[in-house]
Amino acid sequence: MEKIVIIVGPTGVGKTSLSISLAKTFNGEIISGDSMQVYKEMNIGTAKVRNHEKEDIPHYLIDEFHFNEDYNVKVFQQKAREYIKLIQEHHHLPIICGGTGLYCKAAIYDYTFLEQAEDTSFMQFLQTCSHDELWSLLTIIDPKVCEVIHPNNKQRIIRALSMAHNGEKKSDIIEAQEHIPIFDVYVVGLTMEREHLYERINQRVDQMMADGLLDEIKQLVNKHEDVWSLQSFQGIGYKEWKPYFEGNATIEECVELIKKNSRNFAKRQYTWFRNQMQVHWYDIEDDHYKEEIQNDIKKYLGEE
């Protein structure tokens, strides 16, 4: 079975730089497992790799979508797997690098996403329902998922309803799966002391401002009528600016919010990677963590 390395961890630990150094030592090519870095023209706020940092390593799923397009797990999974194949045809090592937990898991686990026709009339119908109505509808249509979805989680309820409407219940799909990786994969997780991480995140946001985050936002705002409703603008570092452009917040307030949201996000990422996937963790505050990772990957690649 062909091998894959995947790098995960919270925002700001240094996944990007590790991915490049691993790609160089192991002849790798990098696939981004990130829901925001796919968007062109969104560079500073997504902490995207700069071109000069890429060191001629091929990168995939970065700058592949226009910021007014939608992106989702299904699209990601399909493309990521195509690129894995492509890289293996090059006889190179696929390295998935990203912080979007669901995407990283979907790339390598036996998650399946069906073709789904847009049924706008049904979605509109759901919009007219109250929260309680949606929930009771779901308890009738797919009672089994109701054990897994919290009654308050409207977004998930609607998704489950539309899946059932599309012909396949969410509970059936999940039941049909084995919940195991379909690839031979080594998962590298980067971590560091929480407090230090938070400091680093704060500093990184300040650096983004110094690098011209606000200018980046202004340019995008001028290119589209209502950027704030775009999926790409739900990303941290972008959505927080809406009140500023509406005259309801200062720059400083927006920056603080971005820092806070980034910290909260980092915590959620930990929760995902600790509990949803089998990760080999490395503390970047250990002096020799890079060598350890390289040695462990060498061993992993040497196994047959």
x-or-dash string of contact with RNA, 89-108, rule CB under 7 A = ----------xxxxx--x--
Contact with RNA (CB under 7 A): which of 129, 137, 141, 158? 158
Q: Are 98 and 32 in contact (CB under 8 A)?
A: yes
Nearest residue to 43 via CA among 63, 20, 14: 63
Contact with RNA (CB under 7 A): which of 265, 290, 294, 300? 265
Closer residue to RNA, CB minimum distance, 33 or 94: 33
Contact with RNA (CB under 7 A): which of 85, 90, 114, 125? 114
Contact with RNA (CB under 7 A): which of 26, 86, 111, 165? 111
Contact with RNA (CB under 7 A): which of 40, 54, 74, 242? 74
Closer residue to RNA, CB minimum distance, 170 or 200: 170
Task: Determine, following the binding rule CB under 7 A, whether residue 196 of this chain makes contact with RNA.
Answer: no
Closer residue to RNA, CB minimum distance, 36 or 255: 36
Closer residue to RNA, CB minimum distance, 71 or 93: 71
Closer residue to RNA, CB minimum distance, 27 or 112: 112
Integer CA distances (angstroms), 51 to 59, 212, 214, in order: 10, 17, 21
Total number of residues binding RNA (CB under 7 A)?
62
Task: Centre a 10 Å sphere on the Cβ of residue 264 and count the other Cβ atoms it contains.
Answer: 11
SS3 at position 195:
helix
Residue 10's identity, in one-letter code, is P
Q: What is the largest CA-CA distance in the chain?
A: 61
Place of tokens 């910290």: 263
Integer CA distances (angstroms), 246 to 182, 195, 215, 218, 251, in order: 47, 33, 16, 13, 12
Query: Torsions phi, psi of 118, nearest 5?
Result: -70, 110
Q: Where do contacts with RNA occur on this chain (CB under 7 A)? A: 11, 34-37, 45-47, 70-75, 99-103, 106, 111-116, 148-150, 152-156, 158-159, 163, 170, 173-174, 177, 179, 194, 231, 234-237, 260-261, 263-265, 267-272, 274-276
